Amino acid sequence: MKIVLASTNAHKLEELAALLEGHDVELGPKLEVEETGVTFAENALLKAKAFLAATGKPALADDSGLAVAALGGRPGVYSARYAPTDAERIAKLLGELDGVADRAAAFVCAMALALPDGRVIAVEGRCEGLITDGPRGQGGFGYDPIFLVPGLGRTFAELTAEEKNRISHRALATEALKSQLLKLAPGLQ
């Protein structure tokens, strides 16, 4: 199936294109959609519907972010807007968690695929981890350098792209999306 990706984040597009191997994925047009939802799922749906309306093609949107337990789930849907740059976002988060013992956090990714016939497939992926005391690693993007995967003892930024793509919130959401696609629309594969 030809799928239009509703995102302007180059890193996310790269990851999604790799994860959705087997589907004909193309970048969507430049379209500003205001993320007014208060949940990841709401924002993903808003974006998918807007790109479907603009292109007439199946549109896939994701909304993702980091939910920190000790901060009541913040920055959550505001992860991208939490501070102006990746470095400032990381510094601000580490500052908020200074002296806080509970380091539990989860990367969450909601995906919505809006189909021209009106159907919508909505899924969510979640990757549990711990916030480190300082940045580690050069890979990935965003909050990756401070997100430790306990089972591996490495941050997302210390994983190869392939390793991250096996366990990430986006990978889990993509797997769920693929299996929903198989169940709901076998003819569209």
Which residues are at the interface with ligand IMP (CB under 6 A)? 9, 35, 63-66, 79-80, 107, 140-144, 156, 168
Note if 24 is an active site residue: no
Nearer to ligand IMP, 51 or 156 (CB): 156
- Closest contact distance (angstroms) between CB of 60 and ligand IMP is 13
Nearer to ligand IMP, 126 or 185 (CB): 126
- Closest contact distance (angstroms) between CB of 144 and ligand IMP is 4
- Closest contact distance (angstroms) between CB of 108 and ligand IMP is 8
Nearer to ligand IMP, 90 or 183 (CB): 90
Tell me, letter by letter, the H, E, C secondary structure of the chain: CEEEECCCCHHHHHHHHHHCCCCEEEECCCCCCCCCCCCHHHHHHHHHHHHHHHHCCCEEEEEEEEEEHHHCCCEHHHHHHCCCCHHHHHHHHHHHCCCCCCCEEEEEEEEEEECCCCCEEEEEEEEEEEECCCCCCCCCCCCHHHEEECCCCEEHHHCCHHHHHHHCHHHHHHHHHHHHHHHHCHHHC
Considering 63, 98, 102, 133, which one is annotated as catalytic?
A: 63
Closest-approach residue to ligand IMP (CB): 142
Catalogue the active-site residues: 63
